[in-house]
Amino acid sequence: MDNDLKKAALDYHAFPVPGKLSVTPSKPCVSQYDLSLAYTPGVAEPVREIAADPEAAYRYTNRGNLVAVITDGTAVLGLGNVGPAAAKPVLEGKAVLFKYFAGIDVFDIEVAARTTEEFISTVASIAPTFGGINLEDIAAPECFVIEDALIRLLDIPVFHDDQHGTAVIIAAGLLNALELQGKKLSEARIVCLGAGAAGLTSMSLLQTLGANADNMLLVDSKGVIHSGRDDLNVYKQRFARSTGARSLADAMCDADVFIGVSAANLVSPEMLASMASRPIVFALSNPDPEIRPEVAHGVRSDLIMATGRSDFPNQINNVLGFPFIFRGALDVRARRINQEMIIAAVRALSALTHGPVPPQVLEAYKLTSLEFGTDYIIPKPLDPRLIEVVPPAVAQAAIDSGVARAPLPAHYNSHPLAGSRPARRPG
């Protein structure tokens, strides 16, 4: 980062007040009467109602629109284990995105836990405050243990965005890229570089959507994850294949798809040249991808490419997913975010890209035209249709799969891409 941008980023976070969040009352408190309703004696009435029926908290408190974004600071962006205090700017930023894109309130919570068990216990203990839990920036494999335990313990959605959020956007973009390249997911040979939370979960989701496990190779820092290795944890063992491939270069030979969730500049032009015809490359390391787009396009003219950056086409950005997935889950008070809801989000995002792009999107990105094609396989984050399409699809999937505790809200209306009824744009 250059010095000017560094200073601008620090000033942005420091002025006019420190941080990016504040708490704003949603009810008036300008008179003695208001005060008597907001606190004593009036507050006793909702307390009695909730004590008699805990579900009444969704009527009398902000629980139904409040999500906890929680971390232990062990895997923050590309910076690693920087600790819970240093993770706070990222979580505040996540809270801003929840609020801006989906109207969801957030408390960011940074936990100084000494063990995985202590972290799980802490989150479970504070869960009655919230309508949902978004786990963030937690290292693998502990993140898998934590999410699995909390899903079992709690009756509200628990969602590790580094796992499932990333997987949803990768899957939606890949389905469209495969369509454009004339290939089928069930036949595609897929290589994933990076076997942490994002890589493992993305490959699992692609299998659920129809990818053939025998056509997948995962690569970690020690090479291809194969059945002869004795250093694999239980999560990597699920993806161990009987193969003679040992290096990334071996794995990429004749591959149809490369997905990178690892580190910069690990893919060489020679590796890209060895891929099958009409390859798909998702080089998602940030800020620097596994191979830069200008290098990749210089090697392969038949390429479809995506990155994690906003300054290149086809940005794989989690903000396309988590605000809208939680919006749909909260709107029907889902007990969890299940596979059916995740797949509904994938399908909704994939379908949205095929529709006409609204003028405000073109204006926001300074474009004269944009249509489904090699440089547009996934919606833009500032597309106002996201809130109209993704939450209803997720909410309907929650109802259909039996995890919803409330019907679709009255403000959902008909929309041809939603498969049900879409939410209002939060304002």
pLDDT for 93-128, tens place per residue?
999 999 999 999 999 999 999 999 999 999 999 999
Q: How many residues does the chain have?
A: 427
The predicted pLDDT at position 415 comes to 45
Kindly state whether residues 376 and 332 are assigned to the same domain. Answer: yes
Q: Would you give the DSSP letter of residue 376?
A: B
What tokens appear for 97 in the block? Answer: 């995105």
Kindly state whether residues 108 and 235 are assigned to the same domain. Answer: no
Contacts (Cβ under 8 Å, ≥6 apart) of 130: 63, 66, 67, 68, 107, 156
User: Is the model's pLDDT at 418 over the cut of 80?
Assistant: no
Q: Is residue 10 part of a domain?
A: no
Between the CA atoms of 382, 193, 240 and 279, what dihedral angle is there, to the nearest 10 degrees? Answer: 80
Q: Is residue 152 part of a domain?
A: yes
Contacts (Cβ under 8 Å, ≥6 apart) of 402: none
CATH of the domain at 261: 3.40.50.720
Kindly state whether residues 202 and 245 are assigned to the same domain. Answer: yes
Last residue of a domain, one of 252, 274, 307: 307
Portion of the chain with pLDDT greater than 90, in percent: 93
CATH of the domain at 136: 3.40.50.10380
User: Is the model's pLDDT at 2 over the cut of 90?
Assistant: no
Portion of the chain with pLDDT greater than 70, in percent: 96
User: Is the model's pLDDT at 232 over the cut of 70?
Assistant: yes
Arithmetic mean of pLDDT, 35-39: 96
Model confidence at 425, in pLDDT bands (50, 70, 90)? very low
Kindly state whether residues 184 and 297 are assigned to the same domain. Answer: yes
Contact yes or no for 276/258 (Cβ under 8 A)? no
Kindly state whether residues 252 and 170 are assigned to the same domain. Answer: yes
Distance CA 163, CA 81 (A): 17
Q: Would you give the DSSP letter of residue 358?
A: P
Q: Is residue 415 part of a domain?
A: no
Contact yes or no for 360/425 (Cβ under 8 A)? no
Distance CA 344, CA 332 (A): 15
Residue 229's φ and ψ, nearest 5 degrees, are -80, 140
Kindly state whether residues 64 and 141 are assigned to the same domain. Answer: yes
User: Is the model's pLDDT at 427 over the cut of 60?
Assistant: no
The predicted pLDDT at position 233 comes to 94
Arithmetic mean of pLDDT, 159-166: 95
Q: Is residue 312 part of a domain?
A: no
Last residue of a domain, one of 307, 333, 364: 307
Residues taking part in catalysis: 39, 94
Q: Is residue 342 part of a domain?
A: yes
Q: Is residue 93 part of a domain?
A: yes
Residue 51's φ and ψ, nearest 5 degrees, are -60, -35
Residue owning tokens 């994939």 = 350
Kindly state whether residues 151 and 185 are assigned to the same domain. Answer: no
Does the reported pTM lie above 0.75? yes
The predicted pLDDT at position 209 comes to 98
Distance CA 298, CA 138 (A): 36
Can you give the residue range of the structural domain that contains 349?
321-400
Kindly state whether residues 32 and 153 are assigned to the same domain. Answer: yes
Kindly state whether residues 348 and 395 are assigned to the same domain. Answer: yes
Phi-psi category of residue 387: left, alpha or beta, with phi > 0 → left and psi -120 to 50 → alpha: alpha
The rounded mean pLDDT for the chain is 94
Contact yes or no for 91/78 (Cβ under 8 A)? no
| Count of domains observed in the chain | 3
CB burial class (10 A; 0-12, 13-18, 19+) of residue 286? Answer: middle
User: Is the model's pLDDT at 229 over the cut of 80?
Assistant: yes
Alpha carbon separation from 378 to 285, 316, 351, 411 (Å, rounded): 17, 8, 9, 27
Strand pairing report for 216-220 and 105-110? unpaired
Least confident of 116-125, 296-305, 308-317, 416-425: 416-425
Q: Is residue 62 part of a domain?
A: yes
Kindly state whether residues 39 and 57 are assigned to the same domain. Answer: yes
Kindly state whether residues 25 and 157 are assigned to the same domain. Answer: yes
Arithmetic mean of pLDDT, 281-301: 96
Q: Is residue 413 part of a domain?
A: no
Model confidence at 78, in pLDDT bands (50, 70, 90)? confident
Kindly state whether residues 200 and 333 are assigned to the same domain. Answer: no
Contact yes or no for 346/173 (Cβ under 8 A)? no
Distance CA 83, CA 156 (A): 26
Give the full edge-to-edge strand order of the sheet including 280-283: 223-224, 216-220, 190-193, 257-260, 280-283, 304-307
Last residue of a domain, one of 118, 144, 162: 162
CB burial class (10 A; 0-12, 13-18, 19+) of residue 7? Answer: exposed
CA nearest to 403, candidates 214, 209, 177, 132: 132
What tokens appear for 15 in the block? Answer: 């002025």
